[in-house]
Structure 1
Amino acid sequence: MKMIPIAGTDLTASNIVLGCMRIKGMSLQDTETLIRTSMEEGVNFFDHADIYGGGECETHFSKAIGMNANLREKMIIQSKCGIRGGYFDFSKEHILASVDGILGRLNTDYLDILLLHRPDALVEPEEVAEAFDSLQASGKVRHFGVSNHSPLQIELLKKFVKQPIVANQLQFSIAHTPLVDSGIALNMNIDQSVNRDGGILDYSRLHDITVQAWSPFQQGFFKGPFLGDLENYKELNEYIDTLAAKYDVTNTAIAVAWITRHPANIQVVLGTTNVGRLKDSCKGSDIPLTRQEWYGIYKAAGNMVP
């Protein structure tokens, strides 16, 4: 398992993250097996959000592993807040209340990282700054970040927030590549050249913000997995299978490796509840894909390399 430093923190994290969005429907025993297997594979980073299962995923997580101080110190735990029923809320009152709820459900005294989930168009960054100061001073949250934010949205927060923004969780997969498309096809009159995210990947590298890739196996916005989809991604699947045979891993590992190969040290957030798939994915943590192979996967997914 490749371990990476999270800039702006004292944390050293696995580049594979266990996302806990779907664990609510699992038995406590199966959930414990999933968590402990991930730790045996070298994963030390666990991602939550207060909306996952209406908060029940956090409760389920802590119950399944019997959260205690000794176990807690072996984990990096991250959660997110700001999404409410049909709207977003970055008010100081909501952030503080959300963190108290998160900590109670996870049965822990602190979060390693708190992310603001999806951008609140009505954000008052002065309130966010006050909330972050309070959470840091109380020891409830050690580090702060965002999710699905653009460079200018981050800059607006940074004008008032004194803590480093250490992470940004963004959708990224072989079949969803806006993070790299416009840079590869710069200054060309094609759809691939359209800058859809303000250059957030380059911005993150320039400002030492760790990118966390969610939905690493999805095509588009929840249109289903691209692995095994021979109707829409036949060439891609055939090429991935060739590489899987070369590296003696599964196609899942290659899909993960395409993300982890990027020099930005991107973390891959897995949402799987399947232990076998988890193990396969972890094998993609540090596969040394060549540049030719990385670009070959990109082209096989239907993208153009000038």
Structure 2
Amino acid sequence: MMSTERNTPLTNPLIKTSKIAYGCMGLGGGWNNNPVTNEHIQQANEVIDTALESGITVFDHADIYTFNKAEIAFGSVLKQTPSLRDDMFIQSKCGIRFEDESAPGRYDFSSEWIAHSVNGILKRLHTEKLDMLLLHRPDPLMNLHELATSLERLNADGKFDYLGVSNMNLHQIRFLQSALDLPIVANQIEMSLAKLDWLNDGVLVGNEGMQSVDFVSGTLEHCQMNNIQIQAWGCLAQGRYSEAGLHSEDANIRNTAQLVLNLSEKHQVPSEAIVLAFLLRHPANIQPIIGTTNLDRIRASALAPAVTLSREEWYRLFVTSRGHALP
């Protein structure tokens, strides 16, 4: 069946990128007003080198990460070694504004703020354009046609090549796409062994507990039907299924961490690879975004694409993490 969506890409440009993406939220020295130091730049350099050496070429930013400092640290590395840019697919997000003297923390898809944000991102990253720009969180005050005009102008001006969204459901994506000639090619959603509503939504249809599912039905299917790359943030579940999880007071976490350990020994890979392989096994072609600054964990995560879990192993992880049997 052919899609009826406007300007659906025949193939997604991210299909040529690495199966794992690196999320840069941890760079820049923390969520504070301290300046970026040489130590922070060195950390970014080591992270970039480790990621690239491990086959990870997608780097995910947002203008708010560590109060702009993540992009500053990363951009300082690119300024020092411009040739690194040729090996990278760089994306960044905008649309979130912090609390200030005029208003509380809020979202802003106005043409003025989007343009201001994109220009700031490019300046901090020391790059002429982004490979992809993403809208970070839905703005209830979005003016559809104003936003579409702004995005298409920035694209025409060479500020970014591809457009994505983050934390949006299928209805929001379709609404935005209705005004755009530029196709939406990615959607970032929180997905992990610990955040399972994206799966529970499908298996609980017509069963008790469906009302408590925090996920909009049809979003996965919409993305698959329209060649929209799903990117998973929070995918390592903050390391709860590594060694520390074995000592958790939560029985579900303990049991899942033990299962992950057993599978890691069976497949001869670190636990991070098993946790990510769970996402990669799903037919939605999920691209996990890891956020660790631990170099060993980056290397461990990069091994995930080499692991193919059996149906039985995948379901064992799913059911164990849920904490109770499927209906």
Normalised by the size of structure 2, how large is the TM-score? 0.86
Map Cα deviations across residues 199-220 of structure 1 (whole Å, 9 max, x no partner): 211111111110000011227x
Which letter does structure 2 place at the counterpart of 1:293?
E
Q: Following the alignment from structure 1 to structure 2, what is the Cα–Cα distance between the partners of residues 177 and 7?
A: 28
Q: Following the alignment from structure 1 to structure 2, what is the Cα–Cα distance between the partners of residues 251 and 14?
A: 20
Q: Following the alignment from structure 2 to structure 1, what is the Cα–Cα distance between the partners of residues 215 and 187?
A: 16
CA contact (8 A) 2:163 2:183 kept: yes
Match of 1:231 in 2: 249
Give the CA RMSD over aligned residues.
2.0
Match of 1:162 in 2: 181
Per the TM alignment, residue 163 of structure 1 is displaced from its structure 2 partner at its CA by 0.7
Q: Following the alignment from structure 1 to structure 2, what is the Cα–Cα distance between the partners of residues 6 and 106?
A: 30
Match of 1:207 in 2: 226
Q: Is 2:73 aligned against 1:73?
A: no
Q: Following the alignment from structure 1 to structure 2, what is the Cα–Cα distance between the partners of residues 118 and 174?
A: 23
Per the TM alignment, residue 251 of structure 1 is displaced from its structure 2 partner at its CA by 1.3
Match of 1:131 in 2: 150
CA contact (8 A) 1:210 1:266 kept: yes
Match of 2:310 in 1: 290
Q: Following the alignment from structure 2 to structure 1, what is the Cα–Cα distance between the partners of residues 146 and 227?
A: 24
Which letter does structure 2 place at the counterpart of 1:274?
N
CA contact (8 A) 2:185 2:228 kept: yes
Normalised by the size of structure 1, how large is the TM-score? 0.92
Q: Which segment is superposed worse, 228-237 or 157-166?
A: 228-237
Name structure 2 gaps, 5 residues minimum.
1-8, 30-38, 99-104
Name structure 1 gaps, 5 residues minimum.
none
Give structure 1 regions of 4+ aligned residues with deviation exceeding 6 angstroms.
none
Identify if the C-alpha distance between structure 1 residues 193 and 294 changes in structure 2 by more than 3 Å, giving closer, same or farther.
farther
Identify if the C-alpha distance between structure 1 residues 9 and 195 changes in structure 2 by more than 3 Å, giving closer, same or farther.
same
Q: Following the alignment from structure 1 to structure 2, what is the Cα–Cα distance between the partners of residues 156 and 69?
A: 38
Match of 2:293 in 1: 273
Identify if the C-alpha distance between structure 1 residues 261 and 52 changes in structure 2 by more than 3 Å, giving closer, same or farther.
same
Choose which of 90, 93, 111 in structure 1 pairs with 2:130: 111
Match of 1:305 in 2: 326
Choose which of 12, 15, 20 in structure 2 pairs with 1:16: 20
Q: Following the alignment from structure 1 to structure 2, what is the Cα–Cα distance between the partners of residues 192 and 226?
A: 27
Choose which of 265, 268, 282 in structure 2 pairs with 1:262: 282
**Residue 164 of structure 2: SS of its match in structure 1?**
strand
Q: Which segment is superposed worse, 19-28 or 153-162?
A: 19-28
Q: Is 2:97 aligned against 1:84?
A: yes
CA contact (8 A) 1:169 1:214 kept: yes
Identify if the C-alpha distance between structure 1 residues 303 and 103 changes in structure 2 by more than 3 Å, giving closer, same or farther.
farther
Identify if the C-alpha distance between structure 1 residues 132 and 260 changes in structure 2 by more than 3 Å, giving closer, same or farther.
same
**Residue 114 of structure 1: SS of its match in structure 2?**
strand
Identify if the C-alpha distance between structure 1 residues 6 and 275 changes in structure 2 by more than 3 Å, giving closer, same or farther.
farther
Map Cα deviations across residues 133-161 of structure 1 (whole Å, 9 max, x no partner): 11111111100010000111111101111
CA contact (8 A) 1:80 1:114 kept: yes
Identify if the C-alpha distance between structure 1 residues 7 and 182 changes in structure 2 by more than 3 Å, giving closer, same or farther.
same
Map Cα deviations across residues 165-205 of structure 1 (whole Å, 9 max, x no partner): 10000000001011111212221122487462232111111
**Residue 14 of structure 1: SS of its match in structure 2?**
coil
Identify if the C-alpha distance between structure 1 residues 225 and 235 changes in structure 2 by more than 3 Å, giving closer, same or farther.
closer
Match of 2:4 in 1: none
Which letter does structure 2 place at the counterpart of 1:286?
A
Q: Following the alignment from structure 2 to structure 1, what is the Cα–Cα distance between the partners of residues 141 and 80?
A: 36
Per the TM alignment, residue 7 of structure 1 is displaced from its structure 2 partner at its CA by 3.5
Q: Is 2:60 aligned against 1:47?
A: yes
Q: Following the alignment from structure 2 to structure 1, what is the Cα–Cα distance between the partners of residues 219 and 80?
A: 36
Q: Which segment is superposed worse, 109-118 or 249-258?
A: 249-258
Q: Is 2:105 aligned against 1:101?
A: no
Q: Following the alignment from structure 1 to structure 2, what is the Cα–Cα distance between the partners of residues 13 and 6?
A: 16
Per the TM alignment, residue 250 of structure 1 is displaced from its structure 2 partner at its CA by 1.5
- Alignment size in residue pairs: 298
Which letter does structure 1 place at the counterpart of 2:20?
I
Match of 2:102 in 1: none
Q: Following the alignment from structure 1 to structure 2, what is the Cα–Cα distance between the partners of residues 90 and 170?
A: 19
